[in-house]
Amino acid sequence: MTVEGDAIDTLRQWVRESRTITVLSGAGISTESGIPDFRSPTGIWADERLMDAMSKWYLEEQPEDFWTKYKYAFLGDNLLQAEPNGAHLALAWLEEQGKRVQIYTQNIDGLHQKAGNKHVYEMHGSVRKAHCPICNRSYGLAHIMAEEVPHCTAYDVKGTDCHYILHPDAVLFGQEVRYFQEAAFSMMESDLVLIVGSSLTVYPVADLPKFAQQGRAKVALVNLDETDFDGLAGLVIHGKAGEVLPALL
Q: How far apart are CA 109 and CA 130, in angstroms?
A: 14
Query: Which domains, and CATH codes, for the chain?
Result: 1-35+84-126+176-249 (3.40.50.1220)
User: What pLDDT digit, counting tens, does each position of 206-236 carry?
Assistant: 999 889 888 889 999 999 989 888 988 999 9
Instruction: Find, among 72, 36, 80, the residue nearest to 53 by Cα.
Output: 72
Q: Is the pLDDT of residue 40 over 80?
A: no
User: What pLDDT digit, counting tens, does each position of 159-218 carry?
Assistant: 678 899 999 999 999 999 999 999 999 999 999 999 999 988 888 999 998 898 888 899
Q: How far apart are CA 130 and CA 143, in angstroms?
A: 9
* Number of H-type helices and E-type strands within the chain: 12, 9
Would the annotation count 162 as a binding residue?
A: yes
Q: Is the pLDDT of residue 59 over 90?
A: yes
What is the reported pLDDT for 4? 61
* The residue type at 111: L
> Among the listed ranges 3-7, 103-107, 243-247, which one has the minimum average pLDDT value?
3-7
Cis upstream peptide for 209 (omega within 30°): no
Confidence band of 39 (pLDDT split at 50, 70, 90): low
Contacts of 160 (CB under 8 A, 6+ apart): none
Q: Which pTM value belongs to this model? A: 0.91
Q: Indicate which residue of 88, 112, 119, 124 is catalytic.
A: 124
Contacts of 20 (CB under 8 A, 6+ apart): 99, 100, 102, 189, 190, 191, 192
Any catalytic annotation for residue 124? Answer: yes
To the nearest whole percent, how much of the chain has pLDDT over 90? Answer: 73
User: What pLDDT digit, counting tens, does each position of 151-161 carry?
Assistant: 999 986 666 78
Would the annotation count 152 as a binding residue?
A: yes
Cα-Cα-Cα-Cα dihedral sign, residues 176, 177, 182, 183: negative
Q: What is the mean pLDDT of residues 20-24?
A: 97
Would the annotation count 224 as a binding residue?
A: no
Would the annotation count 135 as a binding residue?
A: yes
What is the reported pLDDT for 1? 34
Q: What is the mean pLDDT of residues 67-82?
A: 91
Confidence band of 2 (pLDDT split at 50, 70, 90): very low
